[in-house]
Each structure stands twice: as C-alpha cells, then as structure tokens.
Amino acid sequence: MLKGIPKILPPALLKALCEMGHGDTLVLADGNFPAHTVGKNAVVVRMDGHGIPEILDAILQLVPLDTYVEKPVGRMQIVPGDPVETPIWDVYDGILAKYDARGADTIEEIERFAFYERAKGAYLIIATGEQALYANLLLQKGVVTD
C-alpha cells in the first residue's frame, strides 16, 4: 500500500506508467477496442471492471500530458454516418481541464483506422470495461518536473 497513489491503479499499471518516457503513448481502450490485437507490441493492462473517466482522472494525477506538442490527446473520430451520441467526450473535457490548462484544446480527432495505426505504436494499452461508444483515447506522456 502506498500513500498518494489513486487506489484504482493496479501495480502492473503503475509499473508500466513508470517505465514510460517523455513522448511515449498510452491508449485508454473502451470495451470494444481490440486491445490485444492492436497491442501485440505493447504492454496491455486489463481493467475490465472500470470505466475510462475514473482511470483517466487517476492517471492524470500522476502523469502529465506532453506540453511540447499541440495535441497530446487523441480520440477516435465518429465514422461518418454513424448515428451515435458521445456524451463521454464532455466528461473527458472536464477531466482534462482539471489537469491541463489547455483543457479540450489538447484533443485531436483521429479517423478510426488511423487511430488503430497510431495505437499500434503505443507503449501501453489499458483495456477497460468502458461501454460508451467512441470512448477510446490516446495520451502522450509529458515531462515530469516535480
């Protein structure tokens, strides 16, 4: 047990976050994301019982977003014509604003298959039980200064 570490983060995830360097990417994958297929060359940590917002909030308590790039967060763009709503995106905007002054301006929308290709280069994929559609996020780790 450690003080100051969000209890939701399991030891395997803490280890992977520590191993990441500046500019490395992690994916927060919803329950439909092919985490093990896309993550063949990545560390895959399963957190099936949790949603992305609570994990995102916990991670951003420990890991800064990259300030050397304009858009350190990527989210999967809605496929044109797909009649879905994405209220989870508003939740993400609030969480990002809590930890980074750029807030929603940190987010780049990435076409679905381009998102998968970028995710293949991620160091870490966190497979969650998130049920919201188009809930996947890419985060680029920044420099830890304190």
Active site residues: 22, 66, 116
Looking at the DSSP assignment, which residues form a beta bridge with residue 137? 28, 75
Looking at the DSSP assignment, which residues form a beta bridge with residue 138? 27, 74
CB 112 within 8 Å of CB 84:
no
Looking at the DSSP assignment, which residues form a beta bridge with residue 108? 74
- Residue 26 CB neighbour total at 10 angstroms: 25
CA 76 to each of CA 28, 45, 51, 111, 130: distance values in angstroms, whole numbers, following the listed order: 11, 20, 16, 6, 14
